[in-house]
Structure 1
Amino acid sequence: MSKRTHTRRGTARPIRHLGDPVLRTECDPVRTFDAALERLVDDMFVTMYEEEGAGLAANQVGVGLRVFVYDCEDDKGRRHIGHVVNPRLVAADGETLVEPEGCLSVPGLRFATPRHAHAAVEGVDMKGKPVHVEGTGYFARCLQHECGHLDGSVYIDVLSGDARREAMRAIRNLRR
Structure 2
Amino acid sequence: MARVHTSSSLLPCLRFASLHRFTSTPLPILNIPQRLYYTPSIYAMARRNLTSKSKTDQVASPADLRFEGPLKIVEYPNPILRAKNKRISTFDDNLKKLAHEMFDIMYKTEGIGLSGPQVGMNVQLMVFNPVGERGEGEEVVLVNPKVVRYSRKIVAYDEGCLSFPGIYADVERPDSIKVDAQDVTGAKFSVSLSGLRARVFQHEFDHLQGILFFDRMSDEVVDSIRMELEKLEKKYEDSTGLPSPEKVIMRRRQTSAVGFGIK
TM-score interval (norm. to shorter): 0.7 to 0.9
CA contact (8 A) 1:122 1:131 kept: yes
- Specify the alignment match of 1:95 in structure 2: 153
Cα deviation, residue 64, structure 1: 0.5
Alpha-carbon displacement from aligned partner over 1:8-46 (angstroms, at most 9, x marks no partner): xxx541000011111011210002111221111111111
Structure 2: give runs of 5+ residues left out of the alignment. 1-11, 13-21, 24-68, 132-136, 235-263
Equivalent in 124, 136, 159 of residue 66 of structure 1:
124
Counterpart of 1:28 in 2: which secondary structure?
Answer: coil
**Structure 1: how far apart are the matches of 2:205 and 2:181?**
11
**Structure 2: how far apart are the matches of 1:12 and 1:132?**
32
Cα deviation, residue 170, structure 1: 2.5
AA at the equivalent of 1:157: D
- Specify the alignment match of 1:113 in structure 2: 171
- Specify the alignment match of 1:31 in structure 2: 89
CA contact (8 A) 2:77 2:233 kept: no
Counterpart of 1:14 in 2: which secondary structure?
Answer: coil
**Structure 1: how far apart are the matches of 2:191 and 2:110?**
22
Aligned residue pairs total: 165
Cα deviation, residue 174, structure 1: 4.5
- Specify the alignment match of 2:213 in structure 1: 155
CA contact (8 A) 1:156 1:167 kept: no
CA contact (8 A) 1:90 1:119 kept: yes
Counterpart of 1:109 in 2: which secondary structure?
Answer: strand
**Structure 1: how far apart are the matches of 2:216 and 2:82?**
14
Please list every run of at least 4 consecutive aligned residues from structure 1 whose deviation after the TM superposition is greater than 3 angstroms.
Answer: 173-176
Greater RCO, CA 8 A, separation 6+? 2
Counterpart of 1:29 in 2: which secondary structure?
Answer: coil
- Specify the alignment match of 1:169 in structure 2: 227
CA contact (8 A) 1:119 1:143 kept: no
- Specify the alignment match of 1:141 in structure 2: 199
Cα deviation, residue 173, structure 1: 3.6
CA contact (8 A) 2:76 2:233 kept: no
**Which structure has the greater CA radius of gyration?**
2
Counterpart of 2:86 in 1: which secondary structure?
Answer: coil
**Structure 2: how far apart are the matches of 1:166 and 1:39?**
39
Larger strand share, 1 or 2: 1
Structure 1: give runs of 5+ residues left out of the alignment. 74-78
Cα deviation, residue 80, structure 1: 4.6
Could you tell me the TM-score, scaled by structure 1's length?
A: 0.85
Q: CA RMSD, aligned part only?
A: 2.1
AA at the equivalent of 1:130: K
**Structure 2: how far apart are the matches of 1:80 and 1:133?**
15
Q: In structure 2, do the counterparts of structure 1 residues 80 and 119 end up closer, same or farther at CA, with 3 Å as the change threshold? A: farther
> Percent identity, aligned pairs only?
30
Alpha-carbon displacement from aligned partner over 1:80-104 (angstroms, at most 9, x marks no partner): 5300100112223231111100000
Tell me if 1:82 matches 2:114. no
Cα deviation, residue 163, structure 1: 0.8
